[in-house]
Amino acid sequence: MTQGQSRPENTRGLLFLTDEQLRKGIEAMFFAYRGFTADPDRILAEKSYGRAHHRALHFIHRSPGTTVNNLLATLGVTKQSLNRVLRTLIEDGLVLNEVGIRDKRQRHLTLTDAGADLESALSNAQSDRMRSAYRQAGADAVYGFCTVLEAMMDPELKEHYEHLTGGEQQ
């Protein structure tokens, strides 16, 4: 905090928000997201992968055995777009693609050891910055951070976010 955001005041139960405060939040999101992706991007560039590969690895790690359709809905891209990424990951031996048992149309996606290694390298790079930011900001700030982010999500996306924590998937 060098200059810091002035704390919005709560008058008569309704939060008073100036344009300045809102604009500052918008710019904070822009600049912070750049920092958020910077570290994994450097690792990915070495291996000539992109952010899309990172996202796929992350969510496959998070929900091992997930199906293509599940991943599609979580990532919010078209199957053609995801397929391009998945194909290279499978060819390179980072992701396993297994035909479903109950439903043979489905393909279950899992990380191989190599895939888990890369995912973990990317995840660590990102987590390091996140941890440092959390520690700088303090416990209460972290709680507020997540609360605002959750309130900012599209309701449909928020469901995916919450499902991940529940740990379903099949």
CB of 111 to DNA, least distance (A): 15
Q: Which of residues 61-90 bind DNA (CB under 7 A)?
A: 67-69, 72, 75-87
- Which tokens belong to 142? 């972290």
Near a second copy in 12-41, by CB under 8 A: 14-15, 17, 19, 21-36, 38
Q: Which amino acid is at 102?
A: R
The option from DNA, a second copy, none interacting with 105 (CB < 5 to 8 A, set by class) reads DNA
Least distance between a second copy and beta carbon 105 (Å): 28
Binding-site string for a second copy from residue 134 to residue 163, where x marks contact by CB under 8 A and - marks none: xxxxxxxxxxxxxxxxxxxxx--xx-xxx-
What lies within 8 Å, CB to CB, of 132 at 6+ separation is none
Which residues within the stretch 102-121 sit at the binding site for a second copy (CB under 8 A)? none
Alpha-carbon distance values, 17 to 52, 62, 137 (Å): 36, 37, 22
What single string gives the DSSP state of each residue in 56-70? HHHHHHHSTTEEHHH
Q: 101 or 139: whose CB is closer to DNA? A: 101
- Which residue has 């994994």 as its token pair? 40
Query: Distances from the Cα of 77 to the Cαs of 20, 70, 170, in angstroms?
Result: 33, 11, 20
Q: How far is the CB of 158 from a second copy (least distance, A)?
A: 7
Alpha helices in 92-154 (DSSP H): 113-137, 139-152
Residues of this chain that bind DNA (CB under 7 A): 48-53, 55, 67-69, 72, 75-87, 97, 99, 102-107
